[in-house]
Structure 1
Amino acid sequence: MMNLPETMHVSRETQERLEAFVALLEKWNPRINLVSSRDIASVWDRHVLDSLQLAPLVAGQARFIDMGSGGGFPGVIISIATGVPGTLIESDQRKAAFLREAARATQAPLTVLAERIEQAEVLPAPVVTARALASLSRLLDWTAPLLEKDGKAFFLKGQQADEELTEARRSWHMDVRIHRSITSHDGVILEVSNLERV
């Protein structure tokens, strides 16, 4: 159970569904290592809250695609908090099985594709998300075919964000807004739009 900061207040029903998700994660984690064993004790702070930051940015959209969903961060959390339908792409079959069970247990409107991102056949969406997955350049390679023309991508990034942006701009034209993380003093959310290859 977690008391959320005032800025991230959610309804009681949403809180209960987040708790159901965390309980499921704790049950499955010893078998398939969804988060590192040392992170389990701080799963609310390190993973749930971090992912929850994206909820206000995705709320109201028609749907979203989450790349490399792993243990459900941020995709499952976004969908629980917003009700926005999502497609989760996760190549690891066991993690995909967990994600399907998490969607069922929390009644989140999610579809899980157990395949590699570059091979996923999915209609482009107005929003693409990713967390702790790859360098920004690699993320943009994967995002471009998945993002609608006027869409936005949101990437949770750490202290390397500036270097990754510099590197990515060699290959991509894009508009970027930087949102400060409220869970990490050196973390940011990169909001990317108008993405075009150089």
Structure 2
Amino acid sequence: MTEDEARGWFADRYDAQRVERVERFLDLVRKESAQQNVVAASTLPHLWFRHALDSGQLVELADNRTGSWIDIGTGGGFPGMVVAILRDAPTILVEPRQKRASFLRAAADALGLRNVTVEQKRVETVRSTAPAAIVSARAVAALPALFAGAGHLATRDTLWLLPKGRSARSEVEALTGSWQGVFHVEHSLTDPESLIVVARGIAPA
């Protein structure tokens, strides 16, 4: 898929204002990349495909679920900032690194996003007034660590959207005896060999 095709994926699904905001955010990522390594340098020519689309597909998997979205380890803004642009509901970006958290706050301000909260903390120390409707984490940690670290922010009704690459099925199998829930995997739009774990009803076994 080309950059134009990836941008077209957004244009087919979202209004012009949201698409333009995604584009502005990608411009901010390019600019910030001169100051810090917010994304791999090799992916800078392919931000629409490698990062924006990889993030946007999670919103599609959320299936119009409303409520707050917590993104763990947001880093340079993926998927959390793209999620916040595409949805109006509250989005909490958990990013412990100071320079990246500062970038996320500045980007939210520049884009006029009022639904974004940046928590410069490890997820284990984040406190929320209400459970998350959706939790995402893109290449952050193994499933047991994610569930243990963020379980206090979720309930059995929470939807977990977790891009895991090729390790998805083996990570789900490794949960046997420690965590229970309903799991399935979806193929990523950006790599047919990469998988996304979609989980509900998560609880210790």
TM-score (norm 1): 0.93
Structure 1 letter corresponding to 2:200? S
d(CA) in 1 for partners of 2:11 and 2:44?
24
Does residue 1:16 correspond to 2:20, yes or no? yes
1:34-113 to structure 2, matched below 5 A, reads 34-58=38-62, 59-108=64-113, 109-113=115-119
Q: 1:191 to 1:5 in 2, by over 3 A?
A: same
- Kindly indicate whether the alpha-carbon contact (under 8 Å) linking 2:168 and 2:196 is maintained by their aligned counterparts in 1: no
Structure 2 counterpart of 1:39, one-letter code: T
- Report the counterpart of residue 31 of structure 1 in structure 2: 35
What TM-score, normalized to structure 2? 0.90
Q: How far, CA to CA, are the matches of 1:155 and 1:130 in structure 2?
A: 5
CA contact (8 A) 2:94 2:120 kept: yes
Indicate the percent of aligned positions where both proteins have the same amino acid: 31
User: How far apart are 1:42 and its partner, in Å?
Assistant: 1.2
From 111, 118, 122, the counterpart of 1:116? 122
**Inter-partner Cα distance in structure 2 for 1:48 and 1:6:** 9
Distance of 1:53 and 1:120 partners within structure 2: 26
| 2:182 is the counterpart of 1:175 | yes
Distance 1:30 1:110, change over 3 A: same
Post-superposition shift, 1:81?
A: 1.1
Paired residues in the alignment total: 198
Distance apart, 1:143 and its partner CA: 2.6
What is the root-mean-square deviation of aligned Cα atoms in Å?
1.7
For 2:200, the equivalent position in structure 1 comes to 193
Larger fraction in strand:
1
Q: Is the 8 A contact 1:8 1:53 kept in 2?
A: no
- Mean CA deviation greater in 53-62 or 67-76: 53-62
- The whole-number CA distance in structure 1 between the counterparts of 2:11 and 2:147 is 29
Q: Which runs of 5+ in 2 are unaligned?
A: none
